[in-house]
Amino acid sequence: MLDVVVLVSGGGTNLQAIIDGVESGSITNTRITGVISNNKNAYALERAKKHGVRNQCISPKDFASRDEFNERFIEVIDEWKPDLIVLAGFLVVIPPAMIERYRNRIVNIHPSLIPSFCGTGFYGLKVHEAALERGVKVVGATVHFVDEGTDTGPIILQKAVEVEAGDTPEILQKRVMQQAEWKILPRAIDLIANGKVSVCDGKAVISQ
């Protein structure tokens, strides 16, 4: 059984997709053992409560320094003993010590086809604004393992989504979520839970 802790900052629709996947059985061999948010007002926390999932808010704002926050953050994660940490719209930089300790056990969902529209400053709606600004015709989402860089870790799954005439950043964001993110994040967790994902020479390999 894969014990998963999900880290969130906002609405939590990706968290919901994971909860639904576990409850419906499309994600197998997995239980969600906790949700952590850096934002006490995140609707994601309500979703966790509704489904009886342990949840906690831990925010850098409540600590004197980033080092103190990082130390407590790692302590909480270690106490919860996850097999996998899922960043589902989590907008806080993961402490390097956590990346080291949980190497290839932290995954992130990013709302673009990496290496396009990723890295520092590309998050949430900004990604879709940049894609429309550039005029690309295909966008999408990526699930990847987290390494020390920003959106640079081994890519596990990607899914493309077409841009349509009249798209606004908000409309495009919603389509990327519906057609890509809510599908590939649960799928990646199911693959990991069933031992189908390994990392070789810095690349994720999927065995069927």
The residues annotated with a catalytic role in the active site are 110
88 binds ligand GAR (CB under 6 A): yes
What's 179's DSSP letter?
Answer: I
Residue 161 C-beta: closest distance to ligand GAR, Å: 12
Type of residue found at 52 = G
Number of residues that bind ligand GAR (CB under 6 A): 17
Interface residue with ligand GAR among 47, 110, 144, 187 (CB under 6 A) is 110
96, two tokens = 């390097």
User: Angle, to 10 degrees, between the axis of helix 182-193 and the axis of helix 13-24?
Assistant: 50
Residue 133 C-beta: closest distance to ligand GAR, Å: 16
128 binds ligand GAR (CB under 6 A): no
Instruction: Assess contact for 91 and 61: CB atoms under 8 A.
Output: no
12 binds ligand GAR (CB under 6 A): yes
64, two tokens = 């004197």
Q: For residues 70 and 142, which CB has a smaller minimum distance to ligand GAR in the complex?
A: 142
Q: For residues 8 and 48, which CB has a smaller minimum distance to ligand GAR in the complex?
A: 8
* Backbone φ and ψ of 73, nearest 5°: -60, -50
* Backbone φ and ψ of 198, nearest 5°: -130, 165
What's 61's DSSP letter?
Answer: G
Interface residue with ligand GAR among 2, 98, 109, 157 (CB under 6 A) is 109
Residue 103 C-beta: closest distance to ligand GAR, Å: 20
Question: Nearest-5° angle of CA 91, CA 93, CA 95?
Answer: 145
Tell me which residues touch ligand GAR (CB under 6 A).
Answer: 8, 10-14, 44, 88-89, 109-111, 123-124, 127, 177, 181
